[in-house]
Structure 1
Amino acid sequence: MAKAAEGFKTRLEPHDEFPHDPGDAKNYNESMYFNVFDPVKKTGGWFRIGNRPNENYAETSVCLYLPDGRVAFMFGRPAIEHNREMNAGGLKVEVLEPFKRLRVSYSGKALVLERPHEMADPKKAYRDNPSVPCTVDLDYEGVSPMYGGETVKADGGPIEIDPEKSFAKAHYEQHCAARGVITVGDERFEISGFGLRDKSWGPRHWQAIEWYRWCPMNFGRDFGMMLSVIGDGKGGAREGGMVFRDGVYDLIKQCRIESDWDEHGYQTALRAKVTTEAGHAYEVTGKVLSLIPLRNRRTTPDGRELQTRITEGMTEYRCGDLVGYGLSEYLDQIVDGVPNGKAAGF
C-alpha cells in the first residue's frame, strides 16, 4: 500500500472495485485500465473504460500491439445514463473476485494501423486505414498486493478537492497475469502474459497534470515494477512507484529516467535508475517496440485551447539479465507545439 502524507491515511476496500457515487462534480470520472504483454509472442495491449456519468458518456479505448508492429486501436465516447457498471461501447469489465479475478471483454471495431504514428492526425488516420471486427476476451489474475487507494483524513473523513484542478481523488494499481484470446479481423492471437491494472475515481481533467512518465513492466509472474515521474508544476518532479518482488511491494524512493527521442518528440528508449525504501537499487533500460500517439483537447471557460498528448509505447525492458515487457506512457501538455516535459529535460 502506498504511503500517505502525515495526518492522512490511505483507504482501500473490496467495494472500491465497483463503481462509486459520482456526486455532483460535472467532470467526475471512474476509470478502470488494464494492460497485458505476452513475452513469447511479443503481442499485447491495453484497455480503458472511464465513466463520466455526470456528462452522460464514457471514454473507451482498446489498443492492441500486433507482432509485426501494426497497432489495432479503438476510441469511443458512447452514451451512458448511470455509473452502476463498467460496460459501454462494447467494452466491459467484470469483477469476479475483488483484488483477485477480473474479466475484460470487447466486441466491436478496431482501426488497423500499419504506421501507428499516423494517429497524430486522427481524421487522416481513420480515412486512410481499415476498420475491422475485433474481439477481446481476457481473464486477469492479481499476482501482487494492492498499491494505493483513496487518501483520506486520519479520522477517515474525505479530503476537499477542487474539481477543476483534479486528476483523480483515488487511485490504485496491481500487477497481474492474464490469458485469453484477441481477434483482429481474420487474425486470432492467444495471449498468456503479464501486465498491470489500475483504477481511479473522482473529478478529472487531463490537463490537471503538467506532464508525467509512467512505466509499468513485468519480468515474470513474481517480479515487476511501476516507475512514476510526475511534473510538480515548479520545474521539478515527484518520483515514485514500486517494485514487486518476493510477494511484496517495495516502494520507490528515487527514480531518475532519461529518454531518447525521435524527430516527432516521441520516446524511443529510456534508462532508469531506481532506489527503494528497503535500500535496493535497480538499473532498467527500455526499448520502444511500437508507439501510438494519442491526444485530448479541451477549451477552458475563458476560451483557451488546451492540448494534452499521450504517447503509448509497447516497450521491451531489461533489468540485469532479465528481459520483460510493458508500457512507456508519456503525458505532456503541448505548449507552442512542444511537449512541456521534454522541454523541461524529462
Structure 2
Amino acid sequence: MPILDERHDFAHPIESDSAWSESYYFNAYDPATDTGFFTRLGIRPHEGRMDVGLSVWLPGTDLAVVAGVQPQHEMIDRDLAVAGVRYERLAPMQTWRLTCDAEASIRDLAGGRERRRGRIGMDVTFQALAPAIGSDGQGRGGTGVSAETRRHVGKGHLEQAGRWTGWIEAAGVRHHLVDTRGNRDKSWGPRRWGGPRMWRWFSINLGDHVHLGGIRIGTDAGDLHRGWIWRKGE
C-alpha cells in the first residue's frame, strides 16, 4: 500500500453523496498501567453533524464511555471538539494531541457493579513511529469489490502507528502512560453504517519498529482484503 503525504491529514474535497464523511480514529494501550482508549470523531456535512465517541479502559474491568453530537454543516479539519473531547493536529502526519474533560458512563465489564456516572480526564500526545500507509480513491470509480466498498465505507483511508505520552484520569486518580503504543486512522468518503455485510479490522504494534494492520470487509460483490506490515523502516 502507498505512503500518503501530509495533505491527507487535512480535509478532502466534499463530494455529493449524502453520506459523505471525514473521520479520525485513535487507539492506545499501556500494559504498565492497564489503561488505554479508542476514540473516533466524524464530520458529516451533508447531514449537518459532527459526532464523537471515546471509550477508556481503566485498570481492572471498568470501561468509561463518552459520546456526543453537535451541528456542523461545513467540512472542517481544525477545532475538532465535541462533548468535551478535543483532537488537535500539532504536526501533520507526525503529532496529535487529544484531550478530554467530560462526564462518562462507566460500566464494569465483569458485571460486578452497576453502571454509574463519573468524570473522565485525559491529555495525551501521539507521536508517529511510521509513515501513514493507505490509499486515496477520490477521482476513481473502482471496479467489483473495491467499487462496492467505496459506496459504503469510504474512498480514502490511512493508518499510522505511534507512541503515546500523557495521562488518563478517572475518579480523581491519574494514570501516567509509561509504555504506550497505538494506531490512528483517517477515512474520507461515503460512510454508511450497516452497509457492509461484515467488517473486521486490526492493528498491532510489536515494539517501536514493527507494525501491521489488516481489514476484511464483506460486500454483495464479495470480500475486500487489505493489509500492511512496516518493519524497521520499510
The 3 A distance-change label for structure 1 pair 222 and 59 is same
Q: TM-score, normalised to structure 2's length?
A: 0.86
Q: 1:244, CA displacement in angstroms?
A: 2.2
Q: Could you tell me which residue of structure 2 aligns to residue 14 of structure 1?
A: 6
Q: Assess if the C-alpha contact under 8 Å between 1:27 and 1:163 holds in 2.
A: no
Q: Could you tell me which residue of structure 1 aligns to residue 174 of structure 2?
A: 188
Amino acid at match of 2:153: F
Matched residue count:
226
Q: TM-score, normalised to structure 1's length?
A: 0.60
Work out whether 1:92 is the aligned partner of 2:78.
no
Seq. identity, %:
25
Q: Assess if the C-alpha contact under 8 Å between 1:49 and 1:91 holds in 2.
A: no
Deviations along 1:269-292, one digit per CA (max 9) or x if unpaired, are: xxxxxxxxxxxxxxxxxxxxxxxx
Separation (CA, whole Å) in 1 of partners of 2:208 and 2:62: 27
Q: Could you tell me which residue of structure 2 aligns to residue 111 of structure 1?
A: 105
Q: 1:27, CA displacement in angstroms?
A: 1.5
Note the 1:157-196 alignment, pairs <5 A: 158-160=139-141, 165-192=151-178, 193-196=180-183
SS at match of 1:149: strand
Q: Could you tell me which residue of structure 1 aligns to residue 37 of structure 2?
A: 45
Amino acid at match of 2:201: W
Which deviates the most, 163-172 or 214-223? 163-172
The 3 A distance-change label for structure 1 pair 162 and 16 is same
Note the 1:49-128 alignment, pairs <5 A: 49-84=41-76, 85=78, 86-115=80-109
Runs of 5+ consecutive residues of structure 1 not aligned to the other structure: 4-10, 118-127, 153-157, 249-346
Amino acid at match of 1:76: G
Q: Assess if the C-alpha contact under 8 Å between 1:101 and 1:141 holds in 2.
A: yes
RMSD: 2.6
Runs of 5+ consecutive residues of structure 2 not aligned to the other structure: 142-146
Q: Could you tell me which residue of structure 1 aligns to residue 144 of structure 2?
A: none
Note the 1:1-346 alignment, pairs <5 A: 2=1, 12-84=4-76, 85=78, 86-115=80-109, 129-152=115-138, 158-160=139-141, 165-192=151-178, 193-233=180-220, 237-248=223-234
Which has the greater radius of gyration? 1
Q: 1:211, CA displacement in angstroms?
A: 0.7
Q: 1:97, CA displacement in angstroms?
A: 1.1
